[in-house]
Chain A
Amino acid sequence: MFASASSVKVAALTVNTPSVNFNLKYEKEWADLEPVPQDDGPNPVVKIAYSEKFSDVYDYFRALLKNDERSDRAFALTAEAIELNAANYTVWHYRRVLLQALSKDLREEMRYITAIIEEQPKNYQVWHHRRMVVEWLNDPSEELEFIADILSQDAKNYHAWQHRQWVIQEYKLWDNELKFVENLLEDDVRNNSAWNQRHFVISHTTGFSDPAIVEREIQYCLSQIRKAPHNESAWNYLKGMLQDRGLSSPPGLLERVLELKETHCSPYLLAFLFDCYEDALENSNQKENVGEEERKDILRKALEICDLLANEKDTIRKEYWLFLGRSLENKSGSRGPSDKPPEPSDPASGQQEMS
């Protein structure tokens, strides 16, 4: 749905077959089968100017499908059809039916699908097919290495990561994954897929409840931030890890971030500070030891950051930061000039203050 249309150009290059231009209808092997032309109707729309080979292969594929033929020639033809359009999920489905009906060698199929994925790593069907074969063999032993190879060519391939997470979870292959992630982050500390995998591994193994783990992760984040201050992934990870328990819960975190502000400032650092202040305000509702003065001071600092981000440091998100500022002000009881209490949700009478 998303990337396939823009691979039109890529496909045109990879599907090029300059060699033999054969016609199946001249092959003895296929003489008994009547090819089935595509039924596009008398006035076709979005009519593709198929090459002769494409039409030929698919005319015979349709014939096989119609008869539900389960033979070696059918199996061989699916490979031809796949080469011409690897996104044809009907062909892949039929190939799987044949793999089982003909008791084909699944190890050989693994070799086949490995080669296809190397050629076309951004296709949904090829990865799904590999998953099916791995499941049938009940053998994940090649997977982590194979996926690592694909990721070495494109470290953010979504299908590759999806397959990797499936394999790890299904076959409980957690042991070396954190190390794998750290190596990737050393290659590219901005690889958001790797940061996600880090979160995936930890949340499914030790979890984020243990304060020692949290402290380790905070240290890791801060050290990566010192190396690359404008890396949004590291800041998002820090926040994402802490948000359920509260950003103000780890002791000394706010202070450490304020220290970083002097030398390693970024819009992300400022946003994190805002989140800390907002969290502190929310929690101060429950705590009696946070005085009114302190609350007002925290609110002032939070609103200052909103202003700074909206007008100077992160102007592309101006509308958002202004909204957050208004929203926080409203929630915290410090009303604007109109001094109006928040309206209940009622579309019919929805009176909103002008932005």
Chain B
Amino acid sequence: MWQRDGGQLFKKNFFFSFCVKRAVLRCLFVHFLLHSSYQLFVINPSFLCFRPALLREQHYQYLKKGLRHLSDAYECLDASRPWLCFWILHSLELLEEPIPTAVASDVCQFLARCQSPTGGFAGGPGQHAHLAPTYAAVNALCIIGTEEAYNVINREKLLDFLWSVKQPDGSFVMHVGGEVDVRSAYCAASVASLTNILTPKLFEDTTNWILSCQNWEGGLSGVPGLEAHGGYTFCGTAALVILGKEHMLDLKALLRWVVSRQMRFEGGFQGRCNKLVDGCYSFWQAGLLPLLHRALFKEGESELSRQRWMFEQQALQEYILLCCQNPAGGLLDKPGKSRDFYHTCYCLSGLSIAQHFGNMDLHHEMILGKEENRLVRSLSPLLLGSWRIIRMYFLVPVLENEKKN
């Protein structure tokens, strides 16, 4: 099965095929565990190849269609439509697929309709503003990056909205009358940073609140007291990075926790200790390693690698390419699950992180499989909201009124 060309080529690719075989076995085993009764071989034709392939064309078609039309199965995301824009646009960006000008403009106009008259963005036209679709909308507009896109955002009102959800203890509710958890701090910090409306007063006590989410496990929980969880850990850590306060975390404990979340058999990451692997944690968890690398470096750590992140990059790429692709396009949680745009976005984001090590000065690539699998270097600066280029469009300071002082 592995000997496409036989002889010399087989020998040269023996290491690849061995790794692929191991990952295939992993994948099949996981699939068996979950769905012992059926559909064993639905999955991936690239099993038959000696080099796993990212199904670029299929993913592109899936994304292109979704950006316009979604089936009624998506009714449950009717209050998250800016998210759909972000997940799809970010995926296209990673695949280096250009966004046609007309489509980009249509997205701008749609997101403008999602903007609330009182500031911030809602899950759909006519709904109330909420920090999650606000994050999604602002980041989607920054991906589009045209003047039309930047002009959609009403910065003054956005600042009003952020103040309206700020709590006395430093946390933020997700929407007026809504729940608190650490996602809100990240959403707020990200959009404030990207649109250049971030002030120390707005995030007064937020740092301490986020720090109180780091628990006995070393990771962060959604609110103080709960279990450490990959999604919340990413949000809390990234928020602190934006605020310049990541050094206040117990970085060593956090590092130990996150590296322990990589599954030694599957190669992907779990969200919490003793739970199952899920493709989306390829970003939420693995995405912490670049953040920690930089944070430790800034703290004077001299023994950091100059070539690799502190997780098994090859194993993660294997998991994503061999277990998380739908042959008809789109990516997913684990074999047997359905594809969706959320998993497409975060599996691809994780793949990019696993392929590229480095910062401004250093860059080291490790592409598993075909060269064409290479994705754009993960735009973590973008997701963190610290890109100078974007902020150049938002040079005008937004003055806070007396109410906030």
Task: Report which A residues bind B (CB closer than 8 A).
Answer: 1-2, 4-9, 11-12, 15, 36, 38-41, 43-51, 54, 58, 62, 65, 84-90, 93, 96, 124, 127-128, 131, 156, 158, 161-162, 165, 169, 190-193, 196, 199-200, 231-233, 236-237, 240-241, 243, 314-320, 322-323, 326-327, 330, 342-345, 347, 350, 352-355
Contact = CB atoms under 8 A, between A and B. Distances in A.
Contacts of A196: 215-217, 226-228
B259 interface: yes
Nearest to A267: B264
30 contacts: A2-B231, A5-B77, A5-B83, A6-B280, A6-B343, A8-B73, A40-B125, A43-B109, A44-B68, A46-B67, A46-B68, A46-B88, A48-B77, A48-B78, A86-B76, A87-B78, A89-B127, A89-B175, A93-B178, A232-B260, A236-B216, A314-B264, A316-B315, A317-B259, A317-B311, A320-B310, A343-B302, A353-B302, A355-B305, A355-B306
A352 B79 contact: no
Contacts of B87: 5
A320 B113 contact: no
Interface in B245-300: 253, 255-256, 259-260, 262-264, 267, 271-275, 280, 284, 297-300
Contacts of B67: 45-46
Contacts of B338: 6, 8-9
Nearest to A314: B264
Interface of B: 66-81, 83-85, 87-88, 102-103, 106-107, 109-110, 113, 122-128, 130, 132, 174-179, 181, 183, 215-218, 222-223, 225-229, 231, 253, 255-256, 259-260, 262-264, 267, 271-275, 280, 284, 297-312, 315, 333, 337-338, 340-343
Contacts of B74: 8, 48
A9 B339 CA distance: 10
B310 A319 contact: yes
Contact of A317 (B71, B88, B262): B262
A85 B74 CA distance: 10
B79 A343 contact: no
Given A5-B77, A41-B109, A44-B106, 9 more contacts: A12-B73, A44-B68, A45-B67, A48-B81, A162-B222, A240-B217, A319-B309, A323-B304, A323-B305
B297 A350 contact: yes
Contacts, number: 259
Secondary structure at the B interface, as helix, strand, loop or mixed, is loop
A352 B231 CA distance: 31
Contacts of A162: 181, 222-223, 226
Contact of A48 (B70, B126, B223): B70
Contacts of A241: 216
Contacts of B306: 352, 354-355
Contacts of B262: 316-317
A11 B73 contact: yes
A108 B123 CA distance: 29
Contacts of B231: 1-2
Given A1-B183, A1-B231, A90 B226 contact: no
A86 B301 CA distance: 47
A50 B69 CA distance: 11
A67 to B, nearest CB: 13
A232 B274 contact: yes
Contact of B66 (A46, A124, A243, A317): A46
B383 to A, nearest CB: 13
